[in-house]
A = this chain, B = another copy of it.
Amino acid sequence: MPVNLHPIDPFQLKTVAGVRLGTARAGIRKPGRRDILVIEVESGSAVAGVFTSNRFCAAPVLVCREHLHSSETRYLVVNTGCANAGTGDEGLADARTTCQELAQLAGVESEHVLPFSTGVIMERLPMDRLLAGVAGALADLEKGTWADAAEAIMTTDTQAKAYSIQARVANSNITVTGIAKGAGMIHPNMATMLGFVATDAAISQSLLKGLVKEVADASFNRVTVDGDTSTNDSFMVMATGRASNAIITNETDPAYAELRSALIQVALPLAHAIVRDGEGATKFITVQVEGGQTIEECLKVGKAIAHSPLVKTAFFASDPNLGRILAAIGYAGITDLDVSKVRLSLGDVLVSEHGGRAASYQEEQGQRVMKEAEILVKVELGRGSASTSVWTCDFSYDYVKINADYRS
């Protein structure tokens, strides 16, 4: 059961001028479901992405990196059902063939196409069905919607994930719409996190490359379910430049910060949706770390807490087990941490200070907070003014069940 995750509202999803979407039912893994998405962006759009740091990255990730480096992007093609990862040279050839075939049908160069795959790993793509689906999705470009697109990239997600806003950048109206999929590495064979965000704002290609990293760091890189890093993770931002803002070419331009903020306003709810939809999840947990010397050390502490199976099972049990959280803070890697200055709160309840239990703390108060579906863990490190947040879910019987039973 996803935690406070509501079905998407197709009418809330705004079209983005310069972007067309097409989907198809190609039967990649299961018959009858949408499993191919093609995104077309107008010539002259800026497109940039960040990809998994996993050395065993999937074939499409390798091809994306190559093509982004050499050329502008006109088409993104996504299939679900098969990740094309751990498939060696043959998988690489399949990803290239996909780009070539789409390029030929669309009348562009192969380098103008970026491929993405998600699904079962160590299996080859069914190329005949895939290519038929690509042709079908191209033919659907006139009428495809963001809601269809969100559905077409799902694997074991229980709900499609999409979100849209309108914002002001340099006194112009812009639109940002995005989709994502992933159940936070909880579905290991279908582990990929994919995110695609489009805007009609105008920004230079070179500047977008840095911006997409900043947006990912403030959203998808701040959520974790179990700390595993998939072979296929990809996050793409497309900017068509059809809005009326003057093209942003310098990161000191105030419009740069405005656009960053608008993109994060879409990327962050999408990232949260992945955590909320983590199968087995019963709680949505915000770990807020303040008072660090640097954001990096705040992040270390936040991730140590968010990754600890002991902490996560305590959340599942609604057990205010402070020792597990203190222990995670202690091993997070801040070697000169003065634990006597650390303060820990659950929601609005101060639970620990001066290296031990807070004098005012009563376990019933902690218990009350832990029973909520949305929990705030606040850590004050007492050594500086940097802060950050990470988001995670709890760790339940169903996590083991899903992962143990998945292929049986």
Contacts and interface: CB of A to CB of B under 8 A. Distances in A.
A142 interface: no
Contacts of A354: 88-89
Contacts of A324: 188, 228
6 contacts: A88-B355, A122-B323, A188-B314, A227-B309, A229-B327, A400-B400
A247 B103 CA distance: 77
A322 interface: yes
Interface centre among A54, A89, A334 (most CB of B within 10 A): A54
Contacts of A403: 309-310, 313-314, 317
Given A87-B356, A227-B308, A316-B400, 10 more contacts: A54-B330, A56-B329, A188-B314, A188-B321, A189-B321, A231-B327, A309-B309, A317-B403, A317-B406, A397-B397
Q: Which 6 A-B pairs have the closest CB atoms?
A: A56-B330, A88-B356, A317-B404, A313-B403, A121-B323, A54-B330
Given A308-B228, A317-B405, A331 B55 contact: yes
Interface residues of A, number: 65
A254 B87 CA distance: 50
Contact of A228 (B230, B328, B335, B400): B328
A53 interface: yes
Given A314-B188, A400-B399, A55 B334 contact: yes
A408 interface: yes
Given A337-B55, A356-B122, A407-B321, A231 B88 contact: no
Contact of A323 (B86, B88, B90, B396): B86
Nearest to A319: B407
Interface of A: 53-57, 85-91, 121-122, 185, 188-189, 191, 226-231, 307-310, 313-314, 316-317, 319, 321-324, 326-331, 334-335, 337, 339-340, 352, 354-357, 395-397, 399-401, 403-408
Contacts of A334: 55
A234 to B, nearest CB: 15
Given A231-B330, A331-B55, A356 B90 contact: yes
Contacts of A406: 317, 319
A225 to B, nearest CB: 9
A309 B357 contact: no
Contacts of A331: 53-55, 228-229
Nearest to A402: B313
Nearest to A330: B56
Contacts of A339: 55-56
B326 A86 contact: yes
Contacts of A323: 85-86, 121-122, 188-189, 231
Contacts of A407: 317, 319, 321
Contacts of A313: 399-400, 403-404
Nearest to A335: B55
B55 A185 contact: no
Contacts of A88: 340, 354-357
Contacts of A89: 354-355
B55 A309 contact: no
